[in-house]
Amino acid sequence: MLPLLLALTAPTAPPWEIWDDLARLAVATPGHQVLLRSSHCQSGCRYDRTDVGDPRYLRIEGDEQVVFEEAGPGAIVRIWMTQSAALDPDIRLRVRVDGEARPRIDLPIAELFAGRRPPFVPPLVADRERSSGGYVSYVPVPYRRGCKVSLVGALDRRLWFQFTFHRLRDAAGVTTFRGDEDLSALGRLLGAQGEDPWGAPDAGTFEQRQVQLAPGQTEVLRSYDTPGTLTGLRLRLPPAAWPHVRLRLELDGQPRVNLSLEDLFGTSPAPGMRSALVGRDAADVLYLWLPIPFQRSAVVRLVNPGGASVPVWYEVRRRPGPPLPGSMPFAARALRVGKTLLEADFPLLDGLGRGRWVGVYAELQSVGIDGREYLEGDERIFVDGSAHPALYGTGVEDFIGGGFYFDQGPFRLGTHGSPAHDVLPDGEDRTSMYRLFLTDAIPFASALKVGLESGPTGDLYMRARRVAWFYAGRAASLERRAVLDVGDAESRRLAAYAVDGDEICRDRTGAFEGEPEAPLDYVSCRRTAGASRFTFRVDTGSALRLRRRFEATAGEQRAHVFVNGAYVSTYPPVEPNAFRSLRETDLDLPPLPGGTLRFAIVPADGLPFTEVRWELWAAPADENRNAP
């Protein structure tokens, strides 16, 4: 058994367990990532096909096709699947955790989403009728030492899939999935859709008022000069005023929101969103239940720039006292584009610093045509400056949770929905949609770039509008501190790079996944046995991230990571990609003392292993930059 170097940390709730205290949604948790394993087309083809022979599987083991494997702690928090008709009852899903031979889950895929097998029951799961073409599960499947997911009977079937998962640096606070967990609190959260989801008596007390908002008037709804967390905001005013009246939110002296009510609450086109935490309820009351922490002060304002007086009823709730440690400021941003650029992703969110992305509302529209092919674009999410997308989806409606252009019509669920679809008088097609990231909120330590492909291959104009809800601090919590380029002799010398045994290094040309394809020249070194060794130095003892760039034409490539002679983590296996050869994978390592760090990378299983570049990321040298 490999020796294990672990940081001594107090047990804490893992980052997906936000349902007992929604304030956790605003907390930055060091040492974790949210990633996606999907059946996206690796060559950038027009449609995300799943024909026989496509490299959608890590490997074949007997009658099982392995579609997902992790080598350390984490959790699968969202499973999405679809087929062109109902899910094939002959295909089974098997989930093994912590190295166990016996599956913890072994069900026909249709049964997984049917809502009859606890804990896979509504609102934690939805079938294609409730989720308009898609099958979705939000049942968390945590594991402490790894997870493997296999399909049986899918080898010659057209099946699209997504597994959203957390990758953690250590297993603190993680309890391995049993199947009999009490997920009633999560179920209440996902089923709220306008009702107060906080539930706890310490959420604070509502303060309400009615005012007449005159033209040009600014009304301060609430102002606070002590620490706290806003836990609820509700507004009632005529819907005709929603596009004009604006809400401005200032936190700790900084403007964080300045949006029309139409944008902030996702109300247009009608009927608008009705998610668990933001939207428009059945009585036309606008609600925002997202936690909004502040360290010193908060000011909530309504502005009426229009030409008519507007009657407003509102209530605001605050939980007094300092926010949870690690809480970040809330923000919301909107963007409208009359015509997107070709071969350029429409930006859903683009920001610097550290944070978590928690939701998006989008309205997409065709340009000059009446079809819905604009829903074929894939989302690509790049985290912390990586050239490889951490999340690469299979289409707009799949990203939202539906399928086949939302073939069951408009729908609204607590986590996701497509409230409206219409054809405008000029013949252009329009679809609105939303998705909240709750158990799957996407963290970033230094930067986040989220783009949506314009049509099947970036070749289709769209009219687009989006609203993003997120938490973001001003400073990064990680920055690149050291680099080893294995194709550069001076870089190898400075890092004292050495290899046990033989390696073959070759000049190559390839590209990362994403469109349009952007070929790069690089040197790739390949071997099947023996460790590679290199030395990095950091001047701070803190959380570390090791980024590996490699050639993905060969699959698997699992490898153990040692630092100063002690085992710290394992790079999980990856699927092969014969079309886009370059890939990057990040590992968060336990906190280590500053100084000289001697790395040894040991390939597992005797399979081919490649290296192109190594990067070490650590806390900024100036720790003061990490203020929220």
Residues 241-280: pLDDT tens digits? 999 999 999 999 999 999 999 999 999 999 999 999 999 9
Element (H, E) at 466: strand 462-472
* CA neighbor of 110 nearest in space, from 59, 37, 159: 159
354 and 369 share a domain?
yes
Residues 482, 184: Cα–Cα separation, whole Å: 46
Per-residue pLDDT at 55: 59
Classify residue 13: in a domain, yes or no. no
pLDDT at 50 (0 to 100): 55
- The answer as to whether 62 is a domain residue is yes
- 104 neighbors 94 (Cβ within 8 angstroms): no
Residue 54: the pLDDT is 59
* Residue 115 and residue 143 share a domain: yes
Q: What does pTM read for this prediction?
A: 0.95
> Rg of the chain's alpha carbons, rounded to an integer?
24
By the 8 A CB rule, do 557 and 626 touch?
no
pLDDT value at residue 199? 79
Q: Which residues of 604-613 are buried (b: 16+ CB within 10 A; e: fewer)?
A: eeebbbbbbb
Task: Say if residue 426 is exposed, middle or buried (CB neighbours under 10 Å; 0-12, 13-18, 19+).
Answer: exposed
Could you tell me if 535 and 551 lie in one domain? yes
Please list, in sequence order, all residues whose beta carbon lies within 8 angstroms of the beta carbon of residue 364, skipping any fewer than 6 positions away. 374, 375, 396, 430, 431, 433, 462, 463, 464
- Domain assignment present for residue 17? The answer is no
Paired with 470 in beta bridges are 331, 357
What are φ and ψ of residue 201, in 5° steps? -65, -20
Is the residue at 540 inside a domain?
yes
Is residue 64 domain-shared with residue 171, that is, in the same domain?
yes
Residues 36 and 63 in one domain: yes
Any idea how long the chain is? 628
| Residue span of the structural domain in which 462 resides | 331-472
Rounded CA gap, 379 and 450, in Å? 7
Are residues 353 and 226 located together in one domain of the fold? no
> Total structural domains in the chain?
4
- For residue 563, being part of any structural domain is answered with yes
Tell me whether residue 567 is in a domain. yes
Do residues 64 and 148 make contact, with C-beta atoms less than 8 angstroms apart?
no
Among residues 260, 289, 320, the one where a domain terminates is 320
Beta bridge partners, 418, equal: 411
User: Residue 594 has what pLDDT?
Assistant: 80
505 and 588 belong to one structural domain: yes
Q: What are phi and psi of 3, to 5 degrees?
A: -65, 150
pLDDT given at position 528: 83
Give one word for 99, left, alpha or beta, with left for phi > 0 and alpha for psi -120 to 50: left
Residue 326 resides in a domain: no
Together in a domain, 164 and 215 = no
In the block, tokens 């893992």 appear at 14
Count CB neighbours of 370 within 10 A. Answer: 11
CA dist list (Å): 86 to 110, 370, 376 = 8, 27, 20
> Are 36 and 127 part of one and the same domain?
yes
Intervals of the chain under pLDDT 70: 1-11, 46, 48-55, 540-541, 622-628
State pLDDT tens for residues 175-193. Answer: 999 999 999 999 999 999 9
Q: CB under 8 Å to 247, separation ≥6 — which residues?
A: 257, 258, 259, 260, 261, 264, 300, 301, 302, 303
What CATH number is associated with residue 270?
2.60.120.1390
Q: Which of 127, 158, 189 is the last residue before a domain boundary?
A: 189
Mark whether 468 and 483 lie in a shared domain.
Answer: no
Mark whether 464 and 507 lie in a shared domain.
no
Question: What pLDDT is stored for residue 5 in this prediction?
Answer: 33
Please tell me the distance from the alpha carbon of residue 450 to that of residue 392, in angstroms, as a whole number: 10
Reported in sequence order, the residue ranges of 304-446 that DSSP labels E, i.e. its strands, are 310-320, 330-337, 346-352, 355-366, 379-383, 391-392, 411-412, 416-418, 421-423, 429-436, 442-444
CATH classification of the domain holding 567: 2.60.120.260
* Cα–Cα distance list, 157 to 87, 148, 300, 312, 420 (Å): 10, 20, 53, 55, 32
Any domain includes 2: no
The SS3 call for residue 239 is helix
pLDDT of residue 608: 84
Question: 282 and 430 in one domain?
Answer: no
Two structure tokens written together for 221: 């709804």
